[in-house]
Amino acid sequence: MDALLIALADPARWRLVSLLAERPRPVGVLARLAEARQPQTTKHLQTLERAGVVVSQRTGQRRIYALRSAALRDLAAALGRLADTADQGSGPGETFERYGRGLDAERLAAQGEGWADGRSFTFPRSLAGRPELVWRHLTETALLARWWTPEDLRVSELVFDARPGGRIVQEYRDAEDTDGSDLVAGRAEGVVEDVRPGERLAYRLSPLLPGGGVAFTAHVDLGLRPTGTGAGTGTRLDVRYRITDSTVDSADFVAGIEIGFGQSLDKLAAILATEHDTDTDTDTDTRSTT
C-alpha cells in the first residue's frame, strides 16, 4: 500500500493513470497526451508498474500499458474503511467537531474580561453504588485519577487534599503520550471549600493558561444522595459548575467544559457500574455456596 500511495502521489504519474483509465496506450502516445518527454514518461510508468498500478506488454516495437483497476479498488476500499472509522457516531471525530463548533462561538463571545462570569452548567448523574463508595471516587487520588479527565487524556499529576482549605492540582496529558514527550494538555490548581462525607463536596479550580495565568475560576459543587434500597441502592450525583474571573483568553477552556466534564462523569459512571456488577456477582456466588 505504501508503494501504491507513493506512486500515485506524483501529479505526472496521476495524469498517466487518468489516461490509462480511458484505455490501454503505448508509451509514445502517453508522452504526447501528457505533454512530457518519452524517457520521463517511461520512468513514471515503470514506477507505476512496480507499485502494481499498471501492467505492460510488448507488441512489436511498442510497449503498451494498461491500468490495473484492482489496485485502485483496494486503495478505495482502504480509504473507505478509514472514512467509516472517522465517521463513527459519538466517537472522537464527532467530539472534535462538536468542540470546534463550540470553540468558534466562545471565541466570538470573548470580547472582554469577565465575559463568561456567571455561566453555569449542571451535570446530573445516576450512579451505581452507595454514596460512601461514590465519595471515595470523588476524593481519593488513586480513584480520582481513573476518571477525572475527558476521553483520550490521562492524569499525569494529581493532588486532592479532601479537607476545607486543602490543595488541588490536576494536570493531564494525551492518553498516548506515555513518555511525556508532548506538551501538557492542561493544568488546573484550586482549593477545597466544603467537605461533608457522602453528602457534599465543593471546591474552586482554576485552569491555567500556557503562560501560567488563570483562565477562569470554576466553582464546583457536588451533591450526593442515596437512591433505591438494599442491594439496589445507588447514588444521585448533582454537579453544579459556575464560572467567575473569566479572561479573554479563557474561550478555548470554556468551550470544552460541557463536553470534557461530561465525559469525565461518564467514565466515573462506567467504573462504578463495573464495580457494582462485580460486587453483585460476588454476593450471588457467596449465597449460592452457603
| Domain presence at residue 92 | no
Same domain, 134 and 22: no
Question: Residue 276 is part of a domain; what is its CATH number?
Answer: 3.30.530.20
| Domain's final residue, options 28, 58, 80 | 80
pLDDT, residue 83, reads 86
| Domain presence at residue 240 | yes
| Domain presence at residue 85 | no
pLDDT, residue 289, reads 52
Question: Residue 64 is part of a domain; what is its CATH number?
Answer: 1.10.10.10
pLDDT, residue 105, reads 93
Distance of alpha carbon 157 from alpha carbon 152, whole angstroms: 16
| Domain presence at residue 224 | yes
Same domain, 119 and 223: yes
Same domain, 154 and 217: yes
pLDDT, residue 251, reads 96
Contacts of 290 (CB under 8 A, 6+ apart): none
| Domain's final residue, options 56, 80, 104 | 80
The pTM of this model reads 0.74
pLDDT, residue 278, reads 63
Same domain, 206 and 261: yes
pLDDT, residue 241, reads 98
| Domain presence at residue 98 | no
Structural domains of the chain, count: 2
Question: In the chain, which ranges are continuous DSSP H helix?
Answer: 2-9, 11-22, 27-33, 38-50, 69-86, 92-109, 131-139, 141-147, 251-254, 257-288
Same domain, 156 and 271: yes
pLDDT, residue 90, reads 60
Which domain, by its residues, includes 61? 2-80
CA-wise closest residue to 65 among 53, 57, 73: 57
Residue type, 279: D
- DSSP assignment, residue 110? -
pLDDT, residue 290, reads 52
Q: Tens digit of pLDDT per residue, the chain (290 long)?
A: 888 999 999 999 999 999 999 999 999 999 999 999 999 999 999 999 999 999 999 988 889 999 999 999 999 999 999 888 777 766 677 788 888 999 999 999 999 999 999 999 999 999 999 999 999 999 999 999 999 998 889 999 999 999 999 999 999 999 999 888 899 999 999 999 999 999 999 999 999 999 999 999 999 999 999 998 877 889 999 999 999 999 999 999 999 999 999 999 999 999 999 987 666 555 545 455 55
pLDDT, residue 285, reads 53
pLDDT, residue 42, reads 96
